[in-house]
Amino acid sequence: WSLNSCPRHKPKFTKYNIGSKHVLVKYKMNYIWTTYKWNSIITSRYPQENKGTYIPVPVVSELQSGKWGAKVIMREDRSVRLSVQSSPACIVGKFRMYVAVWTPYGVIRTSRNPETDTYILFNPWCEGKGLINAKDDEGVIVGSWDNAYAYGVPPSAWTGSVDILLEYKSSQKPVRYGQCWVFAGVFNTFLRCLGIPARIVTNYFSAHDNDANLQLDIFLEEDGNVNSKLTKDSVCSVTGKTQRWGTHTLLPLCGSGMYRCGPASVQAIKHGHVCFQFDAPFVFAEVNSDLVYITAKKDGTHVVETLDTTHIGKLIVTKEIGGDGIKDITDTYKFQEGQEEERLALETALMYGAKKALKTEGVLKSRSDVHMNFDVENAVLGRDLKVVITFRNNGSTRYTVAAYLSGNISFYTGVSKAEFKSETFDVTLEPLSFKREEVLIGAGEYMGQLLEQAFLHFFVTARVNETRDVLAKQKSIALTVPKVIIKVRGAQVVGSDMVVTVEFTNPLNETLRNVWIRLDGPGVTKPLRKMFREIRPKSTVQWEELCRPWVSGPRKLIASLTSDSLRHVYGELDLQIQRRPSM
């Protein structure tokens, strides 16, 4: 007999998700189906069963969790309907589908038909699918935010996703360590490898609403100091998320269980529809919550003093296409600050909030014409710096102000580690006057306690004595750190050797110990690293490597440096690799 003379069996449904249990495949037969044995076959172009590219799908009486199988759910005349279940371990991609039938005359299999090609899609909510976070499902990366990275690599040392994924593949164990931008970067690479369009989104001044009331509550003592016992919320200086194209755009960084974020609809976030799954309330608060300053009175009462409606979600960006610049996408996630739509979105979110927010409608507007702001000048690692607080009296009344400044070493998540500066001062403001107060901070006051990201968090409160108005501002400052210098000599041509030099000068007055320098350049060099036991103050180290590019076009080299006392040091160099001349 000829295969072409046999009846054609055409599946009517050929797209389904990994782990799906509700997909129907229908086959029309010219024989009575009860006289034959059935089997579905899913295969790639060059199939091998041991590599997962050839998959026999048995017809079984009951589907077993985590295993391939097909179950008959309907018999009708010359048709049979099957429910097909895939394995979470299945390779994501395009497969060819065939149906094999055991008959008294031998095995009959359908011929090649592109219309029945099956697309196995990635399913981030499949419980058998470990993803990026290792906390509860042995995913790729172990997270750590305590500035201690024993037996692992500090998050700031990674130069790209490739090194992390290769280590995970070779060791079959989660890689140590990562933080938000590392999770986002690896997940972005992961999605793009699956053919899912994705990009990294960065939110500056991102709120961590830990009590689920969709606003950031900062509790103050009566003297203006922050009450750390009552204040549970924090403001992350910068946070990274992965966005993919589709209805739910913020995807999770881990698998099933409690350690995850997303997916959450961007449109739901923008309009305050936090009733939608999965993490819309948390993400909404990250980008569009109000900062509420509350005085905790000694008698136990709480008084809402002032609001800051513009501090959270100052800027939301992604990388521009075809360059290293940033693209402002703030208006994708939130309406412009101050617009009626933006306030409506917040009111809608508060209506759906999991916990009742503190009422802020009755907060009185300032009864004085005093305004306050501050800036940090000369914020360079290892040097003295200056906090400049400015007061402006726009009215015709003389005012006196009692002010308080607090400087804290903070994690980039906004959580404070230790206070290194505390200062109070009084200011007298004549009518229609401007006054500037300066607070000097020596390098020795903060250097000994500095954390990985070199963030200093300053908080300034002031009370106008005549009106009892409270003014409050807070800012996180990233100290400027030295850079790694990368140089190249030799022809920048595919297949030709060139020498890459990595150079670093220690600008600090202390010796750096256990220094690791990493170098990476996709298409130019595989990930490399070198250790220096110490780098003395003001001294320079150099490291040379011979590289042979294998990809032409615009390329980039990136280097990172990490040590016991200095991290988050980077350098990069753009290259234009030419094609090898034809002979």
My answer on whether 172 and 93 are in the same domain is no
pLDDT for residue 349: 86
> 3-state class of 141 per DSSP?
strand
My answer on whether 422 and 297 are in the same domain is no
Instruction: Name every residue whose Cβ is closer than 8 Å to that of residue 308 and which is 6 or more positions away in sequence.
Output: 290, 291, 293, 472, 473
CATH number of the domain residue 59 falls in: 2.60.40.10
Please choose, from the candidates 115, 117, 129, 45, the residue with its C-alpha nearest in 3D space to the C-alpha of residue 86: 129
Q: What is the mean pLDDT of residues 371-384?
A: 93
My answer on whether 468 and 493 are in the same domain is no
Highest mean pLDDT (candidates 33-47, 210-224, 393-407, 411-425): 393-407
Q: Which helix (DSSP H) or strand (DSSP E) does residue 74 occupy?
A: strand 69-76
Domain count within the chain: 4
Q: Whole-angstrom Cα distance, residue 450 to residue 432?
A: 40
Report yes or no on 435 lying in a domain: yes
Report yes or no on 359 lying in a domain: no
Report yes or no on 11 lying in a domain: no
My answer on whether 472 and 493 are in the same domain is no
178 touches 141 (CB < 8 A): yes
Give 68-74 contacts, CB < 8 A, sequence gap 24+: 70/25, 70/38, 70/40, 73/24
Report yes or no on 3 lying in a domain: no
My answer on whether 194 and 67 are in the same domain is no
Q: Which two tokens stand for residue 526?
A: 């595989």
- Beta bridge partner(s), residue 39: 58, 100
What are the DSSP calls for 252-274, one per residue? -SS-SSSS----B-HHHHHHT-T
Q: What is the mean pLDDT of the chain?
A: 82
Domain edge (last residue) among 318, 352, 386: 352
Q: Whole-angstrom Cα distance, residue 410 to residue 425?
A: 24
Looking at 6-10, 141-145, 190-194, 535-539, which range is the least confident one? 6-10
My answer on whether 299 and 259 are in the same domain is yes
Q: Whole-angstrom Cα distance, residue 63 to residue 480?
A: 59
Annotated binding site for Ca(2+): 288, 290, 337, 342
> 3-state class of 143 per DSSP?
strand
pLDDT for residue 116: 82
Q: Which domain holds residue 71?
A: 23-120
Q: Whole-angstrom Cα distance, residue 506 to residue 450?
A: 17
My answer on whether 511 and 568 are in the same domain is yes
Q: Which two tokens stand for residue 252?
A: 């999770």
**Above 80 in pLDDT, residue 267?**
yes
Backbone angles phi, psi at 184, to 5 degrees: -65, -40
Domain edge (last residue) among 352, 383, 399: 352
35 touches 46 (CB < 8 A): no
> 3-state class of 455 per DSSP?
strand
Annotated binding site: 288, 290, 337, 342
Q: Which two tokens stand for residue 84?
A: 């097909």
How does residue 8 score in pLDDT terms, banded at 50, 70 and 90? Answer: very low
Report yes or no on 364 lying in a domain: no
216-226 pLDDT per residue, tens:
889 998 887 88
What is the pTM assigned to this prediction?
Answer: 0.73
Report yes or no on 422 lying in a domain: yes
Q: Residue 67: how many CA atoms within 13 Å on its side-chain side?
A: 12
326-369 pLDDT per residue, tens:
999 999 999 988 888 888 998 888 887 655 555 555 554 556 79
Q: Whole-angstrom Cα distance, residue 185 to residue 195?
A: 16
Residue with the bigger pLDDT between 127 and 189: it is 189
Report yes or no on 363 lying in a domain: no
**Above 60 in pLDDT, residue 306?**
yes
**Above 50 in pLDDT, residue 533?**
yes
pLDDT for residue 435: 96
Q: Whole-angstrom Cα distance, residue 6 to residue 36?
A: 14
pLDDT for residue 310: 87
**Above 90 in pLDDT, residue 519?**
yes
My answer on whether 450 and 517 are in the same domain is no
130 touches 18 (CB < 8 A): no
My answer on whether 151 and 299 are in the same domain is yes
**Above 90 in pLDDT, residue 554?**
yes
My answer on whether 545 and 499 are in the same domain is yes
CATH number of the domain residue 175 falls in: 3.90.260.10
My answer on whether 325 and 391 are in the same domain is no
My answer on whether 167 and 239 are in the same domain is yes
161-191 pLDDT per residue, tens:
988 999 998 998 999 999 888 988 998 888 8
Report yes or no on 1 lying in a domain: no
pLDDT for residue 282: 84
Domain edge (last residue) among 429, 451, 478: 478
